[in-house]
Amino acid sequence: MNKKYALLVLSVLLVLSLLLTACGPKPGAEGADDRTKVVIFVGLGTGTDPHQISMQEELAAEFNASHDDIEIEFMIVPYEEAGQRLLAMIAGDTAPQLVGPMGVGSVAEGLEMWEDISPYIAADNFDMSDFYSLSVDLNTYPDKVVGLPLGLYPSFLFYNIDAFDAQGLDYPPADFNDTSWTFDRLRQDALLLTLDANGNNAASPDFDPENIVQWGYDDSWIDLRGWLAPWGAERVGSPTSADYKTAVVNSPEWVMGLEWIMNGIWVDHFIPDTAGQQAIEATGADPFSSGMVAMWNSHTWYMSEGLYDLSFEIQIAPTPFNPEGTRIARAHADIFAIPSGAKNKDAAWEVMKWLTSEENIVRVCEIYGCIPARQSVQASYVESLNTRYPGLDTNVIFESLNYIDIPNIESWTPEPARVMDVINNTQSLVMIEQPLTAQELLDQANVELQKILDEYWAEQE
Partner 1 sequence: MTKTRRPLSLRQRESLLGYLYILPWVVGFIVLTIGPMIASLYFSFTDYNIISPPVWNNFANYRKIFDGLPQFIASGDTTVLGDPLFWQSIKVTVKFAALSLPLGLVFSFFIAVLLNQKIRGVNIWRTIYFLPSVLAGVAVTLLWVRIFNPRVGILNPFLENVLGIEGPGWFTDPNWAVPGLVIMGLWSAGGSMIIYLAGLQGVPTDLYDAAKVDGAGVVQRFLHVTLPQMTPVIFYNLVLGMIGSFQYFTEAYVASGGSGGPARATLFYNLYLYQNAFKFFEMGYASTMAWILFIVILILTALVFRSSELWVFYEGELKGR
- The site for partner 1 (CB under 8 A) is made up of 4, 7-8, 11-12, 14-15, 18-19, 22, 80, 83-84, 87, 90-91, 110, 112-113, 210, 273-276, 278-279, 282, 340-341, 415, 417-418, 421, 424-425, 428-429, 431-434, 447, 451
Residue closer to partner 1 (CB basis): 87 or 128: 87
| Shortest reach from residue 4's CB to partner 1, in Å | 6
Instruction: Single out the residue of 401, 391, 334, 400 nearest to residue 361, CA to CA.
Output: 334
Least CB distance from residue 367 to partner 1, whole Å?
A: 27
- Coil, strand or helix: which one is 337? strand
CB of 313 to partner 1, least distance (A): 27
Between 292 and 364, CB nearer to partner 1: 292
Q: Which is nearer to partner 1, 16 or 123 (CB)?
A: 16
Q: Phi and psi for 16 in degrees, rounded to 5? A: -65, -40
Q: How far is the CB of 176 from partner 1 (least distance, A)?
A: 36
Amino acid symbol at 282: A
Task: Pick between residue 91 and residue 267 the one whose CB is nearest to partner 1.
Answer: 91
d(Cα 330, Cα 149) in Å, to the nearest integer?
A: 17
Distance, in Å, from the CA atom of 48 to the CA atom of 78, rounded to the nearest integer, reads: 7
Spacing of C-alpha 401 from chain mean position: 16
Q: Which of these, 363, 336, 349, lies nearest to 69 by C-alpha position?
A: 349
Residue 434 beta carbon to partner 1: minimum distance, rounded to whole angstroms: 7
370, 153 in Cβ contact below 8 A?
Answer: yes
- Give the shortest CB-129-to-partner 1 separation in angstroms: 33
> Taking the mean position of all CA atoms in its chain, how far away is CA 397?
16
Closer residue to partner 1 in complex, CB, 145/342 = 342
Whichever of 114 and 231 has its CB closer to partner 1, that residue is 114
Cβ atoms of 161 and 311 within 8 Å: the answer is: no
End-to-end CA distance of the chain: 70
| β-strand pairing of 331-337 with 98-102 | antiparallel
